[in-house]
Chain A
Amino acid sequence: MSMPEIMSRRDFLKKTTATAGLTLSVSMLSAQHAFAAQGAASEALAPNVFINIAEDGIVNITCHRSEMGQQIRTAIAQIIADELDADWDKINVIQALGDPKYGDQNTDGSRSIRRNLDRLQLASATAATMLKQAAAKGWGVDAASCHCENHQVVHTPSGRKADFATLVAVAASLPVPEEATVTVKEKSKYKYVGKPVASIDLPAVVSGNTTYGQDVELDGMLVAVIVRPPVMFTSPKSVDDSKAKQVKGVKHIITLPAAKAPAVFNPLGGVAVIAESTWAAMQGANALDIEWTSNEHSDYNHDDEKAALIASAQKGGEVVRTKGDAKKALSEAETLMEATYFVPMLAQAPMEPPAATAVVNGDKVEIWACTQHPQAARSNVAGALGIAEENVTVNVTLLGGGFGRKSKPDYVAEAAILAKQVGAPVKLVWRREDDIQHGYYHAVSAQHIKAVQDENGNTTTWHHCTAFPSISSTFAPGVDMPSGGELDLGFIDNPFDVANMQLEKGKAVNHVRIGWLRSVCNVFHAFAIQSFADELAHAAGKDSKAHLLQLIGPGRIIDLTAEKAEPGNYGESLEKYPVDTTRLINVIERVTKMAKWDDRKKEGRFLGLAAHRSFVSYTATVVEVVVNEDGTWSIPKTYVSIDPGTIVNPEHVRAQCEGGSIFGLSCAMGQITATDGAVEQSNFHNYTVARMQHAPKEIEVDIVESDAPPAGVGEPPTPPFAPALANALFAATGQRIRELPIPMRLTKNS
């Protein structure tokens, strides 16, 4: 891999010595630029909330999406710098506060580029238009005869040039043009978009000069740790805090009100220890002796839940998509194939556990938090303290991973409540144990699939029931069925070309807070569908790839509504983002070519294949495994082909395909279970995640070049990994894996 473009070694040295904090600069800029975009400078050109060009020509770019490793701060800078043709060394990226004026800021659902590329291009082109108008006015020429080039406006026919800095004051006095009159660049003229521009945060990260939520430091700040109820919605029956009070540095011990259903983003209650240091708060929390109440969730046990879910999936439920007559075909079939798949709960476990810092001043609150959802953090704090949202300022730090956990701002409200109560700034930190034991979990699930094959081994009937406690149960009482939005996640858009298809949802109740984790229900839906497709291939004596392509059938747009389905399609229209099997077939062909699929047997390699549409992108993955004599296995190589439509930075896409695959591996390795309502795992010794020795040694990524509208990137590489791995392990051992986690040691029986 070569060094990312637009960053030389000299630049690197220069940039690593620059100071970087919450408002991270790409070159050594003075602090005043950070304020320019907040509206302090009157002479600046600020035609919209995303761009503020200061008097000295520095382009301040406000990033309204949270940075959690996807390099959105760089991608947004690329989009905006491109339309202006700005000099990359004269831009400055500012992290937005939580504010509806930016539009949606909830950084999940793989939609930062999908939903913002067009509007940010337009926002930047608007600023460019005003600069061109200012120059044209001065030169007495037509603005249409000018263009932006390297931080200047150029009169194209004469070659006359003016620096942005000299145009800002005049441009700022012009009316902001109507959107309809603004034109954006042609793709062929992109300077930054589509290029592997190095991340603006790289120098700060490799020098440790970064501020995440856990790193916030304020004068006079206290640190809080909360011991939360082991069972959801229980509360302390008795609290013995005598030992905790003796810990040096402990200042306050506060029992919080119990939480009630529905959980929403409300704090879970428990007992808070607030101290002068993190160590004192943690020591104090450990010294608490608490007896807890019990409730209906105290009977929740993993094994019972698993049996109930499997029974629900096998029984079948409400029909959500139907074509032909699957029930009839199944009842008339001489033989049918069927299998049940089970995937346990998972925790997001971002490397940085949740943290938030709050300062309460009268009826005003200022927050610093590693949040994926700054606006929800703001409204959650306002609601918790009973104040107006306008009185809450939410500063967004860097996020040490998010994976969905940090979209739920329960911890931000906790910080605000405690800061108000003790009358001092409070940093509320979650310990790893808190994160693993009191999360918003990826739902446990069971699925049952039945299929009928004809005499040629072609599948004619597909019947699939999915059962899992719904995310909606976290937000509304009495929910015991998956929601439409969850069925959209790799279930309802099943791409198979069969005469009879019936998709059903089964009942399931929740006993913990159910949340979302990178790619959400796609994890278990892809696992079941792509594993069962491989089972059908084996039953028919066919090559897995050839069979999968046959099952998908011809390239076509699937009309889901004709099959009585109601797809939400990730919030996108089916016209703009159809279910297009041509693109799915294409990534299968490309990934298998890259992996030399057809040569695998003569080369003695064991490969598994899976392909999946999610977040309106198409991904196919081939995993290669080696199974040792003792049944242990490893992954020498993984191949990913992705078609996410238009992209902004191929390096980012490649990195997400690598990381998303390894996240998918972790999904196949870990599990969260509960006994008597309490989560059993507590830290990385018993919640297994992929380490270097488990991960593929190498991941080869292929990105389909496309002019299609931008689609998701952060999540789509995750779902196909587990089934591709399970299929590879079947190829190597003959053992079919229908349940996650996959044992680290298999029995070799073929």
Chain B
Amino acid sequence: MQITINGKQHDYDGDPAMPLLWFIRDDLKMKGTKYGCGMALCGACTVHVEGNAVRACQFPMSGAAGKSVTTIEGLDKDHAHPLQIAWAEENVPQCGYCQSGQIMQAASLLSANPSPSDEDIERGMSGNICRCGTYPRIRCAIKKVAEAGK
């Protein structure tokens, strides 16, 4: 099967049940997408498939066949997506491990809903755990980008 990751086409002929996460991390050696739980419970592995946020740890390669996948490395060619800039401005990350997934989830949230309410943000981000507790700053960063987009 063929799969496009960050605009680049790749061939894959392995186990179609293997989660996309391991193709990205082990085969392509792209480490920005993280392993956190393996059960789609924490969101550390969030990537976009055709623009929609999915949990790569539970998303089989068969589902990605012929699709276009975006990871944190490909979110913006200069790594300067408005959310990445807002994340730095608000000094969001602590350990940083969950933040690729948080940013990818937030990007998907904002593309579906450019002006989310507080409740929309909570609902949209509820699947992404941060053990460092950066939630208030994540909320601020998302709001900042939403405000700027108005």
Q: Which of A207-235 contact B (CB under 8 A)?
A: 207-212, 214-215, 217, 223
When distances are taken between beta carbons in the complex, the residues of chain A under 8 Å from B18 are 279
Determine whether B116 belongs to the interface, using a CB cutoff of 8 Å to chain A: no
Q: How many residues of B contact A (CB 8 A)?
A: 64
B interface footprint on A671-697 (CB within 8 Å = 1, 0 otherwise): 000000000000111000111110111
Q: Which residues of B contact A206 (CB under 8 A)?
A: 79, 84, 87-88, 92-93, 99, 103
* Chain B residue at smallest Cβ distance from A656: B94
B36, A432: Cβ atoms closer than 8 Å: yes
- Pairwise interchain contact A4-B91, C-beta atoms closer than 8 A: yes
Q: Using an 8 Å CB-CB cutoff, how does the interface string of B69-91 with A read, 1 for contact, 0 for none? A: 00111000011100011011111
User: Are A17 and B78 in touch, CB under 8 angstroms?
Assistant: yes
Does any Cβ of A come within 8 Å of B48's Cβ? no
Q: How far is the CA of A661 from the CA of B137 in the complex (A)?
A: 13
The stretch of A6-14, A183-191, A524-532, A576-584 that contacts the partner chain: A6-14
Q: Are A278 and B26 in contact (CB under 8 A)?
A: yes
Whether A659 touches B94, Cβ cut-off 8 Å, given contacts A17-B78, A208-B73, is yes
The answer to whether A461 has its CB under 8 Å from any CB of chain B is no
Q: Which stretch, A264-272, A347-355, A378-386, A490-498, touches the partner chain B?
A: A347-355
Docked complex Cα distance between A438 and B92 (Å):
31
Contact indicator A692/B93 (Cβ below 8 Å): no
Q: Residue A1 at the B interface, CB < 8 A? A: yes
In the complex, the answer to whether B36 meets A352 with C-beta atoms within 8 Å is yes
Which residue of chain A is the closest to B15 with respect to CB atoms? Answer: A248
B131 to A205, Cβ gap below 8 A? no
Give, as a whole number of angstroms, the nearest-CB distance from B59 to chain A: 13
Nearest-neighbour CB distance to chain A for B40, whole angstroms, equals: 10
The CA of A429 and the CA of B57, in the complex, are separated in Å by 15
Check if B96 sits within 8 Å of A655, measured CB to CB. Answer: no
A646 within 8 A of B: no
A663 to B94, CA, bound (A): 13
Instruction: Write the nearest CB–CB distance from B48 to chain A, whole angstroms.
Output: 13
Contact residues of A: prevailing secondary structure: loop
> Are A351 and B133 in touch, CB under 8 angstroms?
no
Contact of A699 with B by CB under 8 A: yes
B122 at the interface (CB under 8 A from A): yes
Asked whether, in the complex, the Cβ of B34 is within 8 Å of the Cβ of A212, the reply is: yes
One of B15, B30, B93, B125 near A205 (C-beta < 8 A): B93
Q: Is the CB of B36 within 8 A of A351?
A: yes
Residues in A with CB closer than 8 Å to B65 are: none
Which chain A residues lie closer than 8 Å to B37 at the CB level?
Answer: 432, 683-684
Closest residue on chain B to residue A696 by CB atoms: B136
Quick check: is A109 within 8 A (CB to CB) of the other chain?
A: no
B79 touches A207 (CB 8 A): yes
User: Is B112's CB within 8 Å of the partner chain A?
Assistant: no
Identify A663's interface contact among B103, B121, B131, B140, CB under 8 A.
Answer: B131
A543 CA / B146 CA spacing, docked (Å):
42
Take A16-B80, A212-B34, A692-B121 as given contacts and tell me if A662 and B133 are in contact as well, using a CB distance cutoff of 8 Å.
yes
Nearest chain A CB to B91's CB is how many angstroms away?
Answer: 5
**A294-340 with Cβ < 8 A to chain B:** none
Report 7 cross-chain contacts, Cβ distance below 8 Å, ordered by A residue: A12-B85, A198-B88, A198-B91, A202-B93, A351-B130, A398-B95, A689-B129
